[in-house]
Amino acid sequence: MVTRPLEIAGRDDEPVALLPTRLTDLEGRVAGPLLRPGDPGWDNAVLIWNGMVATEPRLVLQPTSAEDVSAAVSFAADHGVLLSVKGGGHNIAGTSLAKHGLTLDMSRMRDVVVDPDARIAHVGGGCLLGDVDRETQRYGLATVLGFISEVGVAGLTLGGGLGYLSRRFGWTVDNLLEVEIVTADGRIQRASRDENADLFWAIRGAGANLGVVTRFTFRLHEVGPIVHGGIVAWPFEQVDEVLETYQTLTAEEWHGKRICTMAICYSGDLKKTDAVLAPLAALGEPVFDLRQNQPYAQLQSSLDATEPKGLHYYWRTHYASELSDGLLATAKDLAAENPIPAAEVAFLHLGGALCDHDWDDGAVGNRDARYASGAIGIWEPDDPNEIAYQQWIRNAGERFRPYSTGATYINFQTADEGGEQIRATYGANFERVAAAKQQYDPDNVFRMNRNISRAAADGRS
């Protein structure tokens, strides 16, 4: 029998020695398994999307209920253990893994219950986007979720949440009705606009800082089940025309070779598809055109294969309030100069319903963001050019900066972006976010995230 204490990372950088009896106590209080390195399921439990920032905890607990989560949070708080929470593991900064600490892997909490009459879905805190789309689409319903079906609902939602449906229905958090959350004191609480309203406000954009969400309740909308969408590509020589068409199309509200593409989702009246997308036809024969009328849930997972886990990913992104000529020219220059074999210079079309609410309706803010611009690089873990590629991406970010609102999407911030970027993102909402953090997590138990306490302290120093 092993009797040596387990050395595990502490919250305050000092390691903590945990007696085996402590771990036995914890195991006795939870139904889910406590994994050690080498246990069956360990590798998957610590696998995250961005191999460049991968690290390993000492322990992984896979809770099966809010009570399990509560026991684990209390355990971490009582013993000063560094704690992290893993949803889909897709955060580019790798914030779901606590290096040498304790990670809660939420993958056993993936139940989805749809009430089609009330048009709501109750979603487990460990769900992936695909879990939710699959269940809600049985009824021709959907909430706003992102473009890759293996991303976690929790991480995406707690930072705001964007996807094809955002322009119709707003941020994911605009469609969030209620959460069940375990706060730093181990309490299982509910938060909504009517109950713990201040907590609910902060969760809608800064949620990863405030607790572990064990259940989300979302409002659903009629979507599809057939929508029109897919990717169309043209030769890079046509970049000017393609960008101009993208500018027109979006402004009017309605391997190997360089190409320019548009990924499209039109979830409106399918009879109007040709008219709405007419400017695309005017661009002539594309390299390929994968668009078709297809089930919404299929479109939602059609890009998954472009995002395998474990490669090295790096990017810089900015919100922009308009697609100015200068911004388009910068994007074109960057795309032409880009030295990284697998890279994208990209825009996301935001605006629409995302801008309908007031800036201070939830922590998410950024209601003036009508586009996001980005330079994205992907390479193999052993690529000798990693440093040069990272530098190129950072420079690309600097060239986009003059066209930025000054803020960036919290869920897109990389591990090396600092507290000033977090403060800029919450902008006028930052003081309120910081006050919620101080109230609900004064000891910064939840620190494996884009951390509000540290950003606030940086701002004061």
Ligand X SMILES: Cc1cc2nc3c(=O)[nH]c(=O)nc-3n(C[C@H](O)[C@H](O)[C@H](O)COP(=O)(O)OP(=O)(O)OC[C@H]3O[C@@H](n4cnc5c(N)ncnc54)[C@H](O)[C@@H]3O)c2cc1C
Binding site for ligand X (CB under 6 A): 49, 84-92, 95-96, 106, 125, 146-148, 151-152, 154-156, 158-159, 161-163, 207-208, 212-213, 307, 411-412, 448-449
Spatial CB neighbours of 151, under 8 Å, sequence gap ≥ 6:
88, 90, 128, 129
Give the pair of three-digit tokens for residue 435.
Answer: 């006050």
CB of 250: closest distance to ligand X in angstroms?
A: 17
Residue closer to ligand X, measured from CB, 98 or 323: 98
Residue 156 beta carbon to ligand X: minimum distance, rounded to whole angstroms: 4
Tell the smallest beta-carbon distance from residue 192 to ligand X (Å).
16
**Closest separation between CB of residue 179 and ligand X, Å?**
9
Rounded least distance, CB 281 to ligand X, Å: 27
Who's near 260: CB < 8 A, 6+ residues apart?
233, 234, 236, 238, 239, 242, 243, 335
Nearer to ligand X, 98 or 239 (CB): 98
Closer CB to ligand X, 208 or 239, in the complex: 208
Q: How far is the CB of 213 from ligand X (least distance, A)?
A: 4
Dihedral angle, C-alpha 304, 307, 309, 313, nearest 10 °: -160
Instruction: Please count the other Cβ atoms lying within 10 Å of the Cβ belonging to residue 128.
Output: 24
CB of 17 to ligand X, least distance (A): 25
Q: What angle do CA 420, 409, 189 make, to 5 degrees?
A: 95
In whole angstroms, how far apart are CA 49 and each of 34, 95, 308, 441?
Answer: 22, 11, 7, 28
Phi, psi of 390 (to 5 degrees): -60, -40
Minimum CB distance to ligand X smaller for 156 or for 239: 156
Which tokens belong to 212?
């572990």
The first and second tokens of residue 1, run together, are 């029998």
Residues 6+ apart with CB under 8 A from 376: 313, 314, 315, 343, 344, 345, 346, 393
Nearer to ligand X, 127 or 328 (CB): 127
Of residues 69 and 334, the one with the C-beta less far from ligand X: 69
Minimum CB distance to ligand X smaller for 241 or for 307 = 307
Output the residue with the shortest Cβ distance to ligand X: 155
Phi, psi of 180 (to 5 degrees): -105, 130
